[in-house]
């Protein structure tokens, strides 16, 4: 079973992905780690304060990985760009804005980055993109 866990930063992807992997006896895959180790990015954006990922490279890397191991939970906000034919379940984590702001501040992100991440949650970016890509989406709220 291939499960992807997407969602905006600090909404609870890693927490949920690890929990599901344990429960369903699947391998947990830290996609951000894969991106760094395999240089699946194009450059570092100072403006966005993050690596700009080459999603084409990432997709083909993940497809190869899935072809070898079909019992995985993939943790990243970029996994929903995968073609739904490779994916059995797409989980999107969401979080209440007040709680999310607290979590982002804890990460010591800049004011701009916090603002941008909150805007992404307000505009439901990950859920919208996942639905547009054709995934069967399951929402998990990680706040009260």
Ligand X SMILES: Nc1ncnc2c1ncn2[C@@H]1O[C@H](COP(=O)(O)OP(=O)(O)O)[C@@H](O)[C@H]1O
Footprint of ligand X on this chain (CB under 6 A)?
A: 7, 9-15, 93, 103, 142
The pair of three-digit structure tokens given for residue 120, joined into one six-digit string: 């992404």
Q: How far apart are the first and last CA of the chain?
A: 29
- Long-range contact list for 46-49, CB < 8 A, 24+ apart? 48/113, 48/116, 49/109, 49/110, 49/112, 49/113
76 binds, among ligand X, Mg ion, none (CB under 5 to 8 A by kind): none
Compute φ and ψ for 69, nearest 5 degrees: -135, 110
Tell me the closest approach of the beta carbon of residue 67 to ligand X, in angstroms.
25
Residues 14-33 that bind Mg ion (CB under 5 A): 14
Tell me the closest approach of the beta carbon of residue 85 to Mg ion, in angstroms.
25
Residues 68-87 that bind Mg ion (CB under 5 A): none
Q: Which stretch of DSSP H or E encloses residue 86?
A: none
6 binds, among ligand X, Mg ion, none (CB under 5 to 8 A by kind): none
73 binds, among Mg ion, ligand X, none (CB under 5 to 8 A by kind): none
Q: Interface with Mg ion by CB under 5 A: which residues?
A: 13-14
């Amino acid at each position: 079973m291939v499960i992807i866990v997407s969602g905006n930063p600090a909404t609870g992807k890693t927490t949920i992905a690890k929990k599901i992997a344990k429960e369903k006896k699947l391998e947990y895959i830290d996609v951000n780690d894969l991106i760094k180790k395999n240089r699946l990015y194009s450059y570092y954006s100072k403006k966005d304060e993050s690596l700009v990922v080459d999603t084409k490279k990432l997709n083909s890397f993940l497809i190869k990985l899935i072809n070898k191991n079909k019992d995985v939970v993939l943790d990243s906000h970029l996994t929903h760009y995968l073609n739904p034919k490779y994916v059995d379940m797409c989980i999107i984590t969401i979080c209440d804005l007040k709680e999310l702001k607290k979590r982002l501040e804890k990460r010591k992100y800049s004011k701009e980055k916090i603002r941008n991440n909150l805007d992404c949650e307000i505009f439901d970016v990950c859920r919208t993109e996942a639905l547009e890509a054709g995934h069967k989406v399951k929402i998990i709220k990680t706040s009260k």
